[in-house]
Structure 1
Amino acid sequence: MAIEQGWLAGARRVPSPNCDERPHGEVSLLVLHSISLPPGEYGGAHIENLFTNRLDPEAHPFFASLQGLRVSAHLLIRRNGECVQFVPFQRRAWHAGRSRWRDGERWRTALNDFAIGIELEGNEVSAYTDAQYERLVEVTLDLVAAYPELETSRVAGHAQVAPLRKSDPGPAFDWAYFRQRLGECHAAE
């Protein structure tokens, strides 16, 4: 897959209105998230509806708590490895919220300004699929190739950048396996 004008080739596009311009044009961090709607259920259009402000609060009791929420991510990787892109990478998606990242010797806030948000369809306790890991590795390498400030070491979980608020992608995400596969594929390029 390649990146063309901020869009991942081969990804299904579902444009979200929940984005704006990056203040400095910088892309130098990936933030991994997990999402399932309703919680613990996979498939369907609920995630896409949330990111496009079309989630029906009457469709499930949990959805009432999300009413009026305006969020997005750049990319969703479904359980079968399908990629759905909501926001072009050069624009700011609304995914990290109040968060901070140690960038060398300094702490940075307002991570949405320079981070790409990738949602993995899943939850914090169920294993992610091989198809998701493989697609995530592929997408990460494509992004590293497209954005010079981004490196394979600059990938964090939402829990790492907002530890008192968030716990995703959770203990079910195998960071060691992901980094191993990323290293193997990066070396093979």
Structure 2
Amino acid sequence: MPTASTEPNTQPWQGGWHTGAKALSSPHCGPRPEGALIDLIVVHSISLPPGEYGGRAVHDLFVGRLDWDAHPYFQGIRGLQVSAHFFITRKGALWQFVDCDQRAWHAGRSSYRGRMECNDDSVGIELEGLEGLHFEPAQYTALAQLCKDLALRYPIAHVAGHEHIAPGRKADPGAGFDWPRLQGLLGWAPERFPATTLSP
């Protein structure tokens, strides 16, 4: 993780850690395969319990400290070991849990752009929200800036939702996510996004 410094840091990266994110290291990660081309950003949504925002349950889940008895919903995910590289709160605050040079456990069984196992060569970004519902302007702003910063360090060529890399198994971020808005903020070509997300 980045070391504390009293000097302002204008660079977006310190190794695989984003200097603008609050760092909280997750044990749920591992090395990427040798030669992995990190060219995919995967957008997810999460809230714990579902539809409740502003708490620490997502953070606790990603770092392996969730109190499984704190809410009835947690019994259904007891023992789950998952992580994402980043989490963006409803207010646009950016948290990082896994070094981007490492493999986070966010995609599960997946395939995209002709390649399997998207955890191997993607960066996972979780938005605080409920699949199918809307997301906040601050989240789009933070997400777009993060995508731009990722493209400074990695050869990002694609952005997709969890629903696109694991169709039929996952449905996030869902219909409430505004893909044209993200494309507009980024100014990236339509070919870098799933074909079904953008208006003709």
1:126 Cα offset (Å): 2.4
C-alpha separation in 2, matches of 1:83 and 1:4: 16
Number of the residue aligned with 1:176? 180
Give the corresponding residue for 1:3: 13
Q: Contact 2:133 / 2:174 at 8 angstroms: preserved in 1?
A: no
Structure 2 residue runs of 5 or longer lacking an equivalent are 1-10, 189-200
Matched position secondary structure for 2:138: helix
Deviation string, structure 1 residues 76-98 (Cα, Å, up to 9, x no partner): 01111100100010000000000
Task: Give the C-alpha shift of residue 150 in structure 1.
Answer: 1.2
Pairwise CA RMSD of aligned residues?
A: 1.1
Amino acid at match of 2:87: L
Distance 1:127 1:4 in 2: 32
- How many equivalent pairs are there? 177
Alignment pair present for 1:73 and 2:77:
no
1:9 maps to a residue whose letter is: T
Using the TM superposition, give the Cα deviation of residue 51 of structure 1 relative to its aligned residue in structure 2, in angstroms.
0.5
Query: Which amino acid counterpart does residue 79 of structure 1 have in structure 2?
Result: R
Is 2:116 aligned against 1:109? yes
Find out whether 1:160 has 2:176 as its counterpart.
no
| Larger RCO of the pair (alpha carbons < 8 Å, separation 6+) | 1
TM-score by length of 2: 0.86
Residue in structure 2 matched with residue 145 of structure 1 by the alignment: 152
- Detail structure 1 runs of 4+ shifted over 2 Å in the superposition: none
**CA shift digits 1:87-139 (9 cap, x unpaired):** 0100000000001102xxxx210110000000000012321011000010000
Unaligned 5+ runs, structure 1? 185-189
Q: Which amino acid aligns with 2:13?
A: I
The aligned residue for residue 196 of structure 2 is: none
Q: How far is the alpha carbon of 1:57 from its aligned partner?
A: 1.1
1:20 equivalent among 14, 30, 47: 30
Whether the 8 Å contact between 2:41 and 2:125 is mirrored in structure 1 is yes
Within 5 A, what are the aligned runs for 1:57-136?
57-102=68-113, 107-136=114-143
CA-CA distance at 1:164 after TM superposition:
1.1
> Paired residue for 1:47, among 36, 48, 58?
58
**What amino acid sits opposite 2:18 in the alignment?**
L
Q: CA deviation at 1:159?
A: 0.2
| CA–CA separation in structure 2 for the residues paired with 1:60 and 1:158 | 25
